[in-house]
A and B are shown apart, each in its own frame.
Chain A
Amino acid sequence: MAGTIQLNETPGGLRPPVAKGGTGRLYDLMEAWLPKIVIAPTFVACVVFIYGYILWTAVLSLTPSRLLPLYEFVGIEQYQALFGNDRWWLALKNLLVFGILFVVVCLIVGLLLAVLLDQRIRAEGFIRSIYLYPMALSFIVTGTAWKWILNPGLGLEKLVHDLGWQSFSFDWLVNPERSIYTVVIAGVWQSSGFVMALFLAGLRGIDDSIIKAARVDGASLPRIYWRIILPSLRPVFFSCFMILAHIAIKSFDLVIALTGGGPGFSSDVPATFMYTYAFTRNQIGLGAASAMMMLMIVVAVVVPMVWSETRRTSRG
């Protein structure tokens, strides 16, 4: 197999024959340079606006910058301050709770919805758009809507009280110990429809003949799902995880709209922490340090995943 592929990929192997001479050389030159020229602006923009600014943030995190950038090296002082800050640890803990619950629950709910929708039911298109609809809203809208729903004096709790169940209590939104879980609820509501769409596409892409063959061999439906369908959805799991994980790590607008980081700062996450310190408390250096730590978290979570996945595909 590998041999054939290599043959096909030999440079110039598929190039149409051209006459030697001026035009031919120009064509060669064009072929060599045009892709580079076309790609160059994007490449430069990427280097400057992504990696350049990452580098700049890294530099700022090593300076005593407060109101404006100040280029004076102080070593890892800002990181020491960051790790001595209780609020930062709370933000990290909240990210852990929110990140894990958000990703896992979204995956489970999304997969379940997709499997149920995949049973060739009537009005599938209609139901699918209902599930997908929250995705069309921004996190700000989701957060504001859920803020009303979860508020004990206005939403769910009041509704149940009015229905006659007076002892019912659901005050997570205003409970500092529970507020981060309300963010998970709203986040899952927003994103699981999207996960469902991805899984549904994956399910539809599985070759029917394999499933039929398994049926002929006498496998039960749960067994078919467990042993054949779910393993073949592995790439979809991977994409979903990547998308959900980065939504979780950079989650900012949902927290701001839903809880405002409160009660107090009990539902702070690293993104809101960074914004507060860099932009409202004039501590750009500390804010930059927290931004770098967020980058480290992304690197720590995503790079091993990508690495193991690419190794798998290159082997497979």
Chain B
Amino acid sequence: MKTGYMRVRTVVAALGLVFAASAAQAAEVEVLHWWTSGGEAKSVAELKKMLEAKGHTWKDFAVAGGAGENAMTVLKSRVVSGNPPVAAQIKGPSIQEWGAEGVLANIDATAKAEGWDKLLPPVVSNIMKYKGNYVAAPVNVHRVNWMWANPEVFKKAGVSVPKTWDEFAKAAEAIQKAGFIPVAHGGQPWQDFTVFESIVLGIGGPGFYKKSLVDLDQASLNSATMVKAFDTLAVVKKYIDKDSPNRDWNLATAMVINGKAAMQFMGDWAKGEFTAAGKVPGKDFICAPAPGTDKGYTFNVDSFVMFKQSKADVAKGQADLAAAIMSPAFQEVFNLNKGSIPVRLGMKMDKFDDCAKKSSDDFVATNKSGGLVPSIAHGMAVPSATAGAMQDVVTEFFNGTGMSSKQAAEKLAAAAKTK
């Protein structure tokens, strides 16, 4: 009797231990993101698979809506009510803004164990840190200063793809005479700003770009170089068809794809449109750095920010999530689906297409040369309030009537003081 009772008790205790142990390891990892379109959803599913392989459960918290405005509103309400998700898709200086609210988790332990400081370019890892501690894991790199060109149109116009902004004006003139639209553009403020930052990088070089658009140096913002950048923006505007206002970027890309327009200045997410239309890079379309920017690289890095968790098992799941995001396997699969390149340095690129390989080579090279700069149009360089005020000036100049380049530079410098 007694032995039987004892045996039952040990079994129960053992079961309890097993149970407790498994409970300590498996956590429900809730991740807020807005990657809901085809390729993006496939990429997220990959992350889910990896976490489930480690015994955690994945709780998808997808909020649809392109640039994540809806997702941010939902996130704010969750954080205010004291119930933040494990991780959320937040990028750029917004990470600092969230850090200042005191709600982010320190994932230094994971970062140290995995050697992130060596795997990431310092300009990128600095964005992932709040007060010197890692609070976010980067997922991918988009290059923004691309020019997408249709070689067929260039051939018909008898000009070659421009390498500087001076060449651009001549080429655009010839293309227009040949009866094509030189530049496909979507007239939305963020797209105007995307073109503008490529012009600043092309005319002033990475050093000037950094001083003016990242460090917000007043003298650089209000300099002759900046005036010249606005002049160039006005030239580009001349070669855009008048129907562009409020056109979506992918419709502009379609104009390049079907040969109505010669080129578009847009980040490498445009590549997805070309490949979806069955076009081959190098043959049917050309991806080249925007004129004058071959020594520069404006990056747009997506990242997952980790929120403070009260439960130890969830914190363990969080660490596993961070490690999984930076793992070579995930970086490869995710970026193949998303059209971007791995943020982790030293990855094998043989599965990627030519544009991605060029992007990756330039990413590594500019990291060494100092030409790797954050994109201001995509919320990587300055806080959203400041970027917004500066974007207003650029889009007003671009669409407005009669603001001179000099006045625009003055207004840009004033807008940069917005806090």
Contact = CB atoms under 8 A, between A and B. Distances in A.
Interface of A: 66-69, 87, 147, 151-154, 171, 173-174, 176-177, 179, 259-260, 262-266, 276-277, 279-283
Contacts of B80: 68-69
B385 A282 contact: yes
B243 A153 contact: yes
A3 to B, nearest CB: 57
B101 interface: yes
A176 B14 CA distance: 74
A173 B385 CA distance: 28
30 contacts: A66-B385, A67-B100, A67-B101, A68-B80, A68-B101, A151-B243, A152-B242, A153-B243, A174-B187, A174-B242, A174-B244, A176-B400, A176-B401, A177-B401, A259-B246, A262-B187, A262-B188, A262-B246, A263-B187, A263-B246, A265-B395, A277-B388, A279-B73, A280-B67, A280-B384, A281-B384, A281-B385, A282-B94, A282-B97, A282-B383
Contacts of A68: 76, 79-80, 101
A67 B69 contact: no
Interface string B383-404: 1110010001001101111000
B289 interface: no
B188 A260 contact: yes
Contact of A152 (B76, B243, B384): B243
A260 to B, nearest CB: 4
A172 to B, nearest CB: 11
B223 to A, nearest CB: 23
Nearest to A268: B392
Contact of A264 (B69, B72, B399): B399
B58 interface: no
B241 interface: yes
A282 B398 contact: no
A154 B243 CA distance: 9
Contacts of A264: 189, 192, 395-396, 398-400
A264 B398 CA distance: 8
A280 B73 CA distance: 9
Interface string B78-117: 0110000000000000100110110000000000000000
Contact of B97 (A66, A69, A151, A171): A66
A153 B241 contact: yes
8 smallest beta-carbon distances between A and B, as pairs: A264-B399, A153-B243, A263-B245, A263-B399, A264-B395, A281-B388, A260-B246, A174-B245
Interface of B: 67, 69, 72-73, 76, 79-80, 94, 97-98, 100-101, 187-189, 192, 241-246, 383-385, 388, 392, 395-396, 398-401
Nearest to B77: A68
A154 B242 CA distance: 12
A143 to B, nearest CB: 10
A40 B385 CA distance: 43
A74 B245 CA distance: 39
Nearest to A158: B243
Given A151-B243, A265-B189, 18 more contacts: A66-B97, A68-B80, A87-B392, A152-B243, A171-B242, A173-B245, A174-B243, A174-B245, A176-B399, A176-B400, A262-B246, A264-B189, A264-B399, A279-B72, A280-B388, A281-B384, A282-B385, A283-B385
B407 to A, nearest CB: 13
B246 A280 contact: no
Contacts of B97: 66-67, 282
A263 B240 CA distance: 14
Contacts of B72: 279
Nearest to B79: A68
Nearest to A155: B243
B188 to A, nearest CB: 6
Nearest to B80: A68
B240 to A, nearest CB: 11
Contacts of B392: 87, 265
A162 to B, nearest CB: 15
Contacts of B385: 66, 281-283
A106 B84 CA distance: 47
Contacts of B246: 147, 173, 259-260, 262-263
B98 A67 contact: yes
Contacts of A283: 385
A265 B384 CA distance: 17
Most buried by B among A66, A67, A147: A67
B384 A282 contact: yes
B69 A279 contact: yes
A214 B388 CA distance: 64
A265 B98 contact: no
A266 B187 CA distance: 12
Contacts of A66: 97, 385
B383 A266 contact: no
A7 B248 CA distance: 69
B94 A262 contact: no
A276 B396 contact: no
Nearest to B379: A280
Most buried by B among A153, A177, A260, A264: A264
Contacts of A152: 242-243
A280 B68 CA distance: 9
Contacts of A173: 245-246
Nearest to A260: B246
Nearest to A275: B69
Nearest to A276: B388
Contacts of A266: 399
Nearest to B242: A174
B70 to A, nearest CB: 9
Contacts of A262: 187-189, 245-246, 395, 399
Contacts of A263: 187, 245-246, 399
B181 to A, nearest CB: 10
A291 to B, nearest CB: 15
Contacts of B399: 176, 262-264, 266
Most buried by A among B243, B245, B401: B245
Contacts of B243: 151-154, 174
A72 B244 CA distance: 44
